[in-house]
């Protein structure tokens, strides 16, 4: 069965203009039936529509914000902020060390692609975790999620900003692109294109966290989402995400874009299968690998390239 996520189907945005596109409920229900997912089809069939069978955009926005709020609780429990800093702290240190005292010039900028409600960006801002010289930006194609992320950041008085649109159309270049829980939404050839776009930009590195594709992942996701999420859509998509997760090998292959050294932190075999749920695929300009390894210290043993992957115990 080809696994689909409901949240990918009930919203549509023109990637160029950012304009919202109408989505017909019957079309989504048909696609889910075709994929053999009757439960997901039933969830969508219960969503409100207008006379033309177009899904009610306000109801969809409310639903997406509700589901992402529940998702944020998972991010808190999984300590996503700390996990990011564990890798991004040394990565930004390596970038500063490479630029030298006179180097670089402009500010360092982190861009979170598909920032949703902006949990990660807001957490980094609230903890001042990467230093005052790192500008924090979240970007998402979904205007409702960006609006809510912005509202929460302003309510908390945080130094970060959120932009509605395509992460690759921003007027200012990122120094480092990051994301959490986004990669499994892309299938090939879109996954390789996602990495190629970053390699073709002036960015020095990327670091994308996504669900580790282990045999336990779908069961773990089921338990976790059952316990922590109330809406059937969130429960459905949580398990679908784990089933769609890319393998370590597929991620390293897709991330091997021109001018990028692809690396995986805590690949299968080096991580405790009962604990690791999200791990990052990292891409750096080749001159950054040695300083990154130095900055990581002992933890650098957990950072492997494609040539080492076959050698890690299963
Ligand atoms: C599952 S959400 C992830 C939300 C968030 N990272 C989290 O952990 O809660 C994936 C998001 O990626 C966004 N997205 C996908 N491609 C994008 C792009 N090129 N630019 C900006 N946002 C993008 C989608 O709009 C969607 O909201």
Half-sphere exposure of 120 (CA within 13 A, CB side): 28
Q: Which range in 228-232, 245-249, 271-275, 283-287 is most confidently predicted, on average pLDDT? A: 283-287
Rounded distance from Cα 278 to ligand 1 centre (Å): 16
Q: Convert the pLDDT of each residue in 87-99 to its tens digit.
A: 999 999 999 998 7
Rounded distance from Cα 167 to ligand 1 centre (Å): 9
Query: For the purposes of burial, counting CB atoms within 10 Å of the CB of 51, is it exposed (0-12), middle (13-18) or buried (19 or more)?
Result: exposed
Q: Which range in 115-129, 232-246, 256-270 is most confidently predicted, on average pLDDT? A: 115-129
The predicted pLDDT at position 226 comes to 74
Q: Please identify, by atom number, the ligand 1 atom nearest to the C-alpha of residue 142.
A: 25
Which of 39-43, 158-162, 181-185, 218-222 is the least confident region? 218-222
Q: Convert the pLDDT of each residue in 122-147 to its tens digit.
A: 999 999 999 999 999 999 999 999 99
Q: What is the pTM of this model?
A: 0.93
Determine which residue's CA is closest to atom 14 belonging to ligand 1. Answer: 114
Q: Please identify, by atom number, the ligand 1 atom nearest to the C-alpha of residue 11.
A: 25
pLDDT band of residue 314 (cuts 50, 70, 90) is very low
Sequence-separated (6 or more) residues with CB below 8 Å from residue 74: 224, 225, 228, 229
- Which domains are delineated in the chain? 6-62 (no CATH), 64-309 (3.40.50.150)
Rounded distance from Cα 182 to ligand 1 centre (Å): 6
Q: Please identify, by atom number, the ligand 1 atom nearest to the C-alpha of residue 72.
A: 9
> 3-state class of 304 per DSSP?
strand
Rounded distance from Cα 178 to ligand 1 centre (Å): 11
Sequence-separated (6 or more) residues with CB below 8 Å from residue 79: none
Rounded distance from Cα 294 to ligand 1 centre (Å): 32
The predicted pLDDT at position 313 comes to 43
Rounded distance from Cα 211 to ligand 1 centre (Å): 15
How large is the average pLDDT for residues 67-71? 92
Other Cβ atoms within 10 Å of 34 Cβ, number: 11
- Give the integer Cα–Cα distance in Å for 160 and 152: 11
Determine which residue's CA is closest to atom 12 belonging to ligand 1. Answer: 114
For a mutational test of ligand 1's pocket, the pick from 18, 114, 240, i.e. the residue with the most ligand atoms closer than 8 A to its C-beta, is: 114
Q: Convert the pLDDT of each residue in 158-195 to its tens digit.
A: 999 999 999 999 998 899 999 999 999 999 999 999 99
Q: Output the ligand 1 site: residues, CB below 6 A.
A: 68, 71, 75, 113-116, 119, 139-142, 145, 166-168, 180-182, 185
Q: Which residue shows structure tokens 């790192």?
A: 134
Determine which residue's CA is closest to atom 24 belonging to ligand 1. Answer: 114
Per the DSSP assignment, residues forming a β-bridge with 264 are 281, 304
Compare 214 and 123 and report the one with higher pLDDT.
123
Rounded distance from Cα 139 to ligand 1 centre (Å): 8
What is the pLDDT of the chain when averaged over all its residues?
A: 91
- CA distances for 138 relative to 163, 179, 257, 299, angstroms: 6, 9, 23, 28
Q: Please identify, by atom number, the ligand 1 atom nearest to the C-alpha of residue 7.
A: 1
- Order of strands, sheet of 303-304, starting from the edge strand that comes earlier in the sequence: 161-164, 134-140, 108-113, 176-180, 205-211, 278-284, 261-265, 303-304
Rounded distance from Cα 17 to ligand 1 centre (Å): 16
For a mutational test of ligand 1's pocket, the pick from 80, 140, 195, i.e. the residue with the most ligand atoms closer than 8 A to its C-beta, is: 140
What share of the chain has pLDDT > 70, as a percent? 93
Q: Please identify, by atom number, the ligand 1 atom nearest to the C-alpha of residue 166.
A: 20
The predicted pLDDT at position 100 comes to 58
Determine which residue's CA is closest to atom 11 belonging to ligand 1. Answer: 114
Determine which residue's CA is closest to atom 9 belonging to ligand 1. Answer: 116
């Amino acid at each position: 069965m080809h696994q689909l996520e409901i949240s990918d189907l009930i919203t549509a945005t023109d990637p160029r203009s950012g304009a919202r596109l109408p989505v017909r409920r019957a079309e989504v229900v048909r696609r889910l039936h075709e994929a053999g997912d009757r439960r997901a089809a039933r969830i969508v069939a219960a969503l409100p529509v207008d006379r033309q069978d177009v899904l009610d955009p306000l109801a969809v926005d409310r639903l997406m914000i509700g589901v992402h709020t529940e998702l944020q609780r998972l991010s808190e429990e999984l300590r996503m902020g700390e996990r990011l800093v564990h890798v991004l702290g040394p990565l930004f240190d390596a970038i500063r060390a490479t630029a030298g005292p006179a180097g670089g010039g402009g500010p360092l900028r982190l861009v979170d692609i598909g920032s949703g409600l902006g949990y990660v960006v807001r957490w980094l801002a609230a903890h001042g975790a990467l230093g005052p010289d790192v500008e924090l930006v979240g970007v998402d194609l979904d205007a409702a999620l960006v609006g809510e992320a912005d509202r929460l950041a302003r309510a908390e008085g945080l130094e970060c900003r959120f932009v509605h649109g395509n992460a690759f159309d921003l007027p200012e270049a990122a120094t480092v692109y990051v994301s959490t829980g986004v990669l499994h939404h892309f299938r090939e050839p879109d996954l390789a294109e996602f990495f190629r776009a970053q390699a073709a930009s002036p960015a020095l590195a990327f670091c994308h966290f996504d669900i580790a594709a282990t045999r336990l992942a779908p069961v773990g996701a089921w338990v976790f989402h059952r316990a922590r999420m109330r809406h059937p859509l969130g429960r459905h998509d949580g398990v679908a995400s784990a089933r769609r997760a890319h393998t370590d090998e597929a991620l390293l292959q897709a991330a091997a874009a021109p001018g990028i050294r692809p690396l995986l932190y805590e690949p299968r075999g080096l991580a405790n299968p009962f604990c690791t749920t999200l791990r990052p695929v990292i891409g750096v300009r080749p001159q950054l690998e040695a300083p990154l390894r130095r900055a990581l210290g002992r933890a650098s043993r957990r950072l492997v390239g494609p040539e080492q992957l076959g050698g890690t115990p299963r």
